[in-house]
Amino acid sequence: MTSPAPPRASRWYYCVDAARQSSRRALFRLHRDPVAKGLGLRDAPSGLKVNISGGEAEFNRWGWRALLESRALDIAQPEVCALGGISEYLRVLALCHAHFTPVVNHVWGSAVAVATNLQLLAAMPSLPGGLHPREPMLEFDTTDNKFRDELLTEPLDIQGQVARSGGFVEIPKGPGLGVEPDRDFIAAYSVDG
């Protein structure tokens, strides 16, 4: 089982002020993608007492290597679907762990993307660093999304699972990614060419 990631601030121009105001509160991390915005988070004020996360718009291991070597992030957020798949994701995960950078996968999109990330989280070792490593966390977008909530024959119901279990999620147990797309749902959204 894996637990969800805490809420996040996601606009860089608000991040520094939010961090200063929230460093006395329970804000765990600020989220901004330094690559997409070209802002260089390593130049962020050093007095911040929150973690900086991002990287979901980095698309290969070479970009991730540069990002990790620059120490621009406290928490890496690779996006398996944007990286080109599981094999490249595993290479990036190894780089992150070699740099002692915790990973909280960036999860957005369809139920297939969520199921893929759940399987990856189930195989991921505890987050590195310190005497008390943390179990992997699931970042989960709660906005309305039919392709996440209605795409599968048996919906994942992440929010329901979290509410019922005190913050944990079951890993799908079927073959492959553990889920089966609802072909009628897909047909309803198909476009004739």
Phi-psi label, residue 84: left if phi above 0, alpha if psi -120 to 50, beta otherwise? left
Mean pLDDT lowest among 2-11, 123-132, 183-192? 2-11
pLDDT of residue 153: 97
Q: Return the active site residues.
A: 106
**What residue type is assigned to position 7 of the chain?**
P
pLDDT per residue as tens digits for the range 3-36: 444 444 443 334 445 555 554 444 455 555 544 4
- Whole-structure pTM value: 0.77
CA–chain centroid gap for 120, Å, is: 11
pLDDT of residue 21: 56
In this structure, is the dihedral angle defined by the CA atoms of residues 145, 147, 150 and 156, taken in order, positive or negative?
negative
Question: 3-143 has which fold?
Answer: TIM Barrel (3.20.20)
The single residue listed with the structure tokens 């996440």 is 148
Tell me how far apart the alpha carbons of residues 51 and 191 are, in angstroms, rounded to a whole number: 43
